[in-house]
Amino acid sequence: MVASAAQLSQARVSLEQRDFCGHHLLRLLRCHRDNFPVPWGCHALRHAWDSCQHHDYVMRMKEFERERRLRLRQQRLRQQHGDSE
């Protein structure tokens, strides 16, 4: 993580949003605070945070699928070794 837990708690970021994209969220919240009546001034920061969230989601799904396939492979190998012995 780029942003520390102290920075996230100081910015009052909820626990659900404290993830690997927290540094993007901190910049976005700061931009919203500085440009209060004009939220569309932070479009680039919002896009960066959304892209980071999407990339993190994709990586978690790939890791989940990898673990699932390894588990299935391990089960197949156990069954083959159990049948041959």
pLDDT in tens, 72-82: 999 999 998 87
pTM: 0.75
Q: Please report the pLDDT score of residue 19 as a whole number.
A: 84
Alpha-carbon gap, residue 85 to 28, rounded angstroms: 61
Q: Domain range holding 29? A: 5-83
Instruction: List, for residues 1-27, the tens digit of each pLDDT value.
Output: 677 788 877 788 877 788 889 889 999
User: Considering its fold, how many domains does the chain have in total?
Assistant: 1
Query: Between 6 and 70, where is the model more confident?
Result: 70
Look at the block and give the residue holding tokens 């909820």.
14
Q: Please report the pLDDT score of residue 3 as a whole number.
A: 73
8 A C-beta contact, residue 26 and residue 8: yes
